[in-house]
């Protein structure tokens, strides 16, 4: 019985006698890991240290007062959630659809495949501030959405799309051709193969893309200042202007004197939210994979 | 392309195909919209001032009609190149660590840590850099905000991209390769260097392209730690200004020609990206994408 | 059945979102039934004025339920441009109007000053105007020349186009082009943090933010200009020479909700908000 291993496990390695190059490699790899971990813990430790004292239930459920120096961040959390919701709702169908087309249905040298691939590569490199200006001109002004959560979400979707598509594509590439052949042999239609077999099997790639994209979306500041705006009131519809968490952190850290402690606290909340979302997405993906492929 | 459809299924599939094509076209059209917008805003200045002035004027002082972009172009290129050079080996080795040098539990922990790095806002990186890193560098060599500070912060920011994408592509290396290497008696490092990394090459290149794009486009963090002085740096400790920081810094207060000049710098950035994409094309030629 | 399992975690997440929304106090929603005035105002412009305008707007909203005032950031130039094009009802500008902006009407809601700041550990206590000019044009490059330690001076300047820079350059009769900086910063807080992290730095920022930071423990100090100490009190009494108005601008004479809000922003009733943000109420 062969199990499809989507997440890596320890690979079999040779038991040959230790060579010096092996020791050197181990030392190198471990020092890299320790360096990276050290830097991250330093950064996180700083955020934790300065922000921990401020975070409380009240902080999470009240409105900001005194330009954000006091009070809480409840409306901002809601706005951020809505913006991300819009972003994901738009980018996932668009992204997965495009990735499926590129990976399964089009030869890469066809004009459509080439065009989409190149334009996505270019899109991945557009600076966040240019997205902000573009989003402002296109979504806010031309489409008449004004400063709104919708504009912000749509702009973020544009930013997140390339990462999502690239990663999902890689996920599809990783699925062995045997799957496709077996499905064809069994007489499954292409649509059924896609939905029942390939998509779940490509889940790891999709998940990585989603997480990277989500991380980028949550962390985005410059694009959101110009599209979803600055208003820290509780939004009542998607067309309302709403301040995202990262914009709030920026304002408190850089614009409002004395806002640092709340900036740190907001950053701590943001990092925690990210951890939770990451965990949820990973769990969802694993469940989806299990239910489809292993029939659990 | 295997096709085992019956004629009734073919209709559904055509529908699906056209739906997917529509979605892909929308995805592809976004960049064209952005380019159109940039050119639209930049044209008034092109008509007034020739193209060469953007590279030959004495300096960047839009208020006094000087529009030289070269120092900032140099800033962007240097900061990007330096951070990619450092982040790529760190990221790839991190992925190698997760797969081959540690039990799965620790690997998962490390992966979570890296995913966390990916989600920290650039503002927080910039803020931390300004308040912690820059004074540290200042003690070594004034003024503090510098090419070095920007490189270090940017490295931290693009590391998750290369690490996670490498991780995914290392996972997709066929188990037969690993077993074959073990059967041949290759040591772990020899196997990684000789078999795994070459096999995962296309994924790794994807990662490098993505992280370079991200580095070129980063705005907030470099704005806060690079010093923003318009000059071509002569040492790691010299302040620099990148094209992105320039736009962010001055867009809020720019009118007419100044504003158009900033859009021109946006176009230069797009040119850099186009170059990057062309290089990626060359590298991936022949790879089944 | 399977679909239900997908929906459960999703709906939990969405419910949490909506629950948070209803959890917080929203006085407008409660009073909406009894409302008489309706209306919406959009303000865009200077990021210096934005926090102040937002707080004033909040108080106005609580006194006039049914009115919504959206304050957006974007910079003084954006405030001018948006007010002209009618994209915004009111523009926020952190300086006096220039000659080519006389087609607009300006209403000052506060005053602010610009102060030169040094690190607290810097032994230099004051600098003459000429010394400051020489430092900023790099004719003096070492603190020793002005009575300080033997260390190179790190000059911190604001990015071109910023109102603070224009005010600074105008007072010291410098062309922005002639200023040779070691570090260029954007917002006031960035300037403060840069100087606070570098014992040999000199910079200039809004007095409001400098005073706030200095009294709350940030290691900076404000230098007097021409013997007058840099403080909010001195800007209020007009003794301090480098000052600027914080303006709300409109395209034509304000009417209706616009007029009401501008008058509210200039009234005695909000002077405590102005002082809380470390600005000087415009008398």
- State the average pLDDT over residues B186-202: 87
- State the average pLDDT over residues A249-268: 85
**Cβ separation of B219 and A129 shorter than 8 Å?**
yes
Q: What is the 3-state secondary structure (H, E, C) of chain B?
A: CCCCCCHHHHHHHHHHHHHHHHHHHHHHHHHHHHHHHHHHHHHHHHHHCCCCHHHHCCCEEHHHCEECCHHHHHHHHHHHHHHHHHHHHHHHHHHHHHHHCCCHHHHHHHHHHHHHHHHCCHHHHHHHHHHHHHHHHHHHCCCCCCHHHHHHHHHHHHHHHHHHHHHHHHHCCCHHHHHHHHHHCCCHHHHHHHHHHHHCHHHHHHHHHHHHHHHHHCCHHHHHHCECCCCCCCCCCCCECCHHHHHHHHHCCCCHHHHHHHHHHHHHHHHHHHHHHHHHHHHHCCCCC
**Cβ separation of A255 and C188 shorter than 8 Å?**
yes
Question: Are the beta carbons of C104 and C81 closer than 8 angstroms?
Answer: no
**Cβ separation of A229 and C212 shorter than 8 Å?**
no
Stated length of chain B: 289
What pLDDT, on a 0 to 100 scale, did the predictor assign at position C14? 58
pLDDT at A208 over 80: no
| Domain A73-244, CATH homologous superfamily name and number | MetI-like (1.10.3720.10)
pLDDT at C17 over 80: no
- State the average pLDDT over residues B3-19: 73
Which chains contact C through at least 3 pairs of Cβ atoms less than 8 Å apart?
A: A, B
Give the lowest-confidence range in A161-175, C40-54, C98-112. Answer: A161-175
CA distance C130 to chain A (A): 30
What pLDDT, on a 0 to 100 scale, did the predictor assign at position B88? 94
What pLDDT, on a 0 to 100 scale, did the predictor assign at position C34? 37
Domain ranges of chain A: 73-244
Indicate the pLDDT class of residue C12, thresholds 50, 70 and 90: low
What pLDDT, on a 0 to 100 scale, did the predictor assign at position C26? 39
What pLDDT, on a 0 to 100 scale, did the predictor assign at position C16? 54
Q: Which of B12, B29, B128 lies at the smallest CB-CB distance from A46?
A: B128
pLDDT at C31 over 50: no
- pLDDT tens profile C248-281: 999 988 888 888 999 998 888 888 888 888 888 8
**Cβ separation of C198 and B144 shorter than 8 Å?**
yes
CA distance B223 to chain C (A): 8
Question: Which SS3 state, helix, strand or coil, does residue A70 take?
Answer: strand
- The CATH code of domain B74-242 reads 1.10.3720.10
What pLDDT, on a 0 to 100 scale, did the predictor assign at position A108? 63
pLDDT at C28 over 80: no
Identify the residue with better confidence: A226 or C7: A226
Give C106's strand partners.
C249
- State the average pLDDT over residues B45-49: 80
Chain C: residue nearest A285 by CA?
A: C6
What pLDDT, on a 0 to 100 scale, did the predictor assign at position B4? 55
pLDDT at A157 over 90: yes
What pLDDT, on a 0 to 100 scale, did the predictor assign at position A254? 82
Cβ pairs A/B, distance under 8 A: 328
Cα separation, C54 vs B263, whole angstroms:
30
What pLDDT, on a 0 to 100 scale, did the predictor assign at position C202? 92
CA distance C37 to chain B (A): 34
Mean pLDDT of the residues in chain A: 82
Question: Are the beta carbons of A187 and B9 closer than 8 angstroms?
Answer: no
Which residues, 6+ apart, have CB-to-CB distance to C277 below 8 Å? A67, C51, C52, C55, C110, C208
- State the average pLDDT over residues C134-149: 89
pLDDT at B68 over 80: yes
Identify the residue with better confidence: C156 or A21: C156
- pLDDT tens profile A127-136: 888 888 888 8
C236 is written with which tokens? 């209020």
What pLDDT, on a 0 to 100 scale, did the predictor assign at position A2? 38
- pLDDT tens profile B110-120: 988 888 887 78
pLDDT at B7 over 80: no
Mean pLDDT of the residues in chain B: 85
Question: Cα–Cα–Cα angle for C128, C133, C136, nearest 5°?
Answer: 125
C contact residues 16-45, partner A, Cβ 8 Å cutoff: 17, 20-21, 23-26, 29, 42
Give the lowest-confidence range in A117-126, A207-216, B2-11. Answer: B2-11
Burial of residue B194 (CB within 10 Å: 0-12, 13-18, 19+) is: middle
What pLDDT, on a 0 to 100 scale, did the predictor assign at position C276? 84
In percent, the amount of chain B with pLDDT more than 70 equals: 95
> What is the DSSP pairing of strand C39-45 with strand C90-93?
parallel
What pLDDT, on a 0 to 100 scale, did the predictor assign at position A296? 47
What pLDDT, on a 0 to 100 scale, did the predictor assign at position A292? 64
Pick from A147, A173, A294: nearest CA to A228: A147
Indicate the pLDDT class of residue A117, thresholds 50, 70 and 90: confident
B contact residues 228-287, partner A, Cβ 8 Å cutoff: 243-244, 247-248, 251, 266, 269-270, 272-274, 276-277, 280-281
Chain A: residue nearest C276 by CA?
A: A66
- pLDDT tens profile B84-106: 999 999 999 999 988 888 888 98
Mean pLDDT of the residues in chain C: 82
Domain ranges of chain B: 74-242
Alpha-carbon distances, residue B186 vs A21, B166, B192, C28 (angstroms): 12, 22, 9, 71
- pLDDT tens profile B167-176: 888 888 888 9
Q: Is C186 on the interface with B (CB under 8 A)?
A: yes
Indicate the pLDDT class of residue B289, thresholds 50, 70 and 90: very low
């Amino acid at each position: 019985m062969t199990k499809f291993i989507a997440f890596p496990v320890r690979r079999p390695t040779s038991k040959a006698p230790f060579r010096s190059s092996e020791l050197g490699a181990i030392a190198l790899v471990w020092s890299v890991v320790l360096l990276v971990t050290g830097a991250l813990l330093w950064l996180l430790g700083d955020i934790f240290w300065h922000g921990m004292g401020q975070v409380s239930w009240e902080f999470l459920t009240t409105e900001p007062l005194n330009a954000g120096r006091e009070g809480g961040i409840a409306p901002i959390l809601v706005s951020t959630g809505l913006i991300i919701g819009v972003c994901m709702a738009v980018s996932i169908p668009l992204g997965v659809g495009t990735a499926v087309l590129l990976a399964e249905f089009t030869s890469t040298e066809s004009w459509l495949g080439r065009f989409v691939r190149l334009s996505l590569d270019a899109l991945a490199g557009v600076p966040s501030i240019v997205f902000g200006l573009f989003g402002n001109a296109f979504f806010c002004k031309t489409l008449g959405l004004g400063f709104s959560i919708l504009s912000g979400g749509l702009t973020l979707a544009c930013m997140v799309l390339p990462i999502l598509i690239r990663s999902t594509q890689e996920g599809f590439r990783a699925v062995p051709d045997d799957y496709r052949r077996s499905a064809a042999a069994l007489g499954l239609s292409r649509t059924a193969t896609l939905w029942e077999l390939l998509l779940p099997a490509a889940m790891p790639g999709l998940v990585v893309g989603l997480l990277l994209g989500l991380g980028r979306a949550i962390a985005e500041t410059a694009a959101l200042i110009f599209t979803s705006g600055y208003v820290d009131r509780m939004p009542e519809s998607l067309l309302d202007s709403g301040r995202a968490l990262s914009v709030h952190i920026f304002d408190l850290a850089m614009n409002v004197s004395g806002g640092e402690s709340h900036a740190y606290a907001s950053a701590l909340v943001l990092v925690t939210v990210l951890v939770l979302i990451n965990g949820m997405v990973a769990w969802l993906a694993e469940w989806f994979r299990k239910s489809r492929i292993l029939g659990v | 392309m295997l096709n085992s459809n019956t004629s009734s299924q073919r209709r559904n599939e055509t529908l699906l195909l056209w739906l997917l094509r529509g979605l892909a076209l929308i995805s592809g059209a976004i960049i064209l919209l952005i380019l159109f917008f940039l050119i639209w805003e930049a044209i008034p200045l092109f008509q007034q001032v020739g193209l060469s002035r953007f590279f030959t004027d004495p300096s960047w002082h839009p208020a006094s009609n000087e529009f030289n972009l070269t120092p900032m172009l140099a800033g962007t290129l240097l900061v990007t190149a330096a951070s990619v050079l450092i982040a790529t080996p760190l990221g790839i080795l991190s992925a190698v660590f997760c797969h081959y040098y540690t039990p799965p539990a620790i690997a998962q922990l490390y992966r979570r840590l890296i995913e966390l790095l990916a989600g920290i806002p650039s503002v927080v990186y910039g803020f931390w850099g300004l308040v912690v890193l820059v004074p540290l560098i200042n003690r070594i060599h004034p003024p503090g905000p510098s090419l070095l500070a920007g490189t270090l912060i940017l490295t931290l920011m693009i590391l998750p991209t290369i690490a996670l994408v490498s991780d995914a592509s290392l996972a997709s290396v066929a188990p037969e390769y690993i077993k074959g290497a073990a059967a041949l008696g290759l040591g772990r490092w020899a196997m990684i260097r000789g078999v795994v990394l070459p096999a995962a090459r296309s994924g790794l290149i994807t990662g490098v392209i993505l992280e370079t794009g991200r580095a070129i486009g980063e705005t907030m963090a470099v704005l806060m730690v690079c010093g923003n002085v318009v000059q071509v740096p002569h040492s790691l400790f010299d302040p620099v200004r990148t094209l992105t920081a320039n736009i962010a810094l001055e867009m809020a207060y720019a009118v007419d020609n100044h504003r158009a000049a900033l859009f021109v710098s946006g176009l230069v950035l797009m040119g850099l990206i186009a170059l990057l994409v062309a290089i990626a094309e060359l590298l991936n030629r022949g790879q089944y994408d | 059945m399977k679909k239900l399992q997908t929906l459960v975690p999703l709906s939990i997440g969405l419910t949490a979102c909506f629950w948070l929304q209803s959890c917080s106090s929203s006085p407008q929603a409660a009073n909406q039934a009894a409302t008489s005035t309706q209306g919406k105002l959009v303000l865009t412009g200077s990021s210096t004025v934005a926090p102040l305008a937002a707080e004033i707007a909040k108080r106005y909203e609580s006194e006039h339920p049914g009115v919504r005032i959206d304050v957006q950031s974007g910079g003084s130039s954006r405030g001018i441009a948006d007010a002209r094009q009618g994209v915004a009802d009111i523009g926020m500008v952190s300086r006096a109007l220039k000659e080519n902006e006389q087609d607009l009407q300006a209403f000052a809601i506060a005053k602010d000053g610009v102060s030169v700041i040094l690190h607290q550990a810097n032994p230099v206590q004051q600098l003459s105007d000429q010394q400051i000019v020489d430092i900023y044009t790099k004719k003096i490059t070492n603190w020793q020349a002005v009575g300080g330690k033997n260390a190179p001076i790190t000059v911190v300047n604001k990015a071109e186009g910023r109102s603070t820079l224009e005010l600074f350059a105008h007072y010291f009769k410098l062309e922005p082009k002639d200023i040779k900086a070691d570090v260029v910063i954007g917002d006031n807080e960035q300037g403060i943090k840069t100087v606070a992290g570098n014992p040999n730095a000199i910079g200039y920022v809004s007095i409001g933010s400098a005073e706030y930071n200095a009294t709350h423990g940030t290691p900076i100090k404000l230098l007097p200009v021409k013997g007058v100490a840099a403080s909010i009190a001195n800007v209020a009494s007009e003794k301090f020479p480098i000052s600027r108005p914080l303006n709300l601008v409109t395209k034509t004479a304000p009417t209706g909700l616009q007029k009401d809000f501008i008058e509210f922003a200039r009234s005695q009733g909000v002077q405590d908000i102005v002082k809380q943000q470390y600005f000087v109420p415009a008398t």
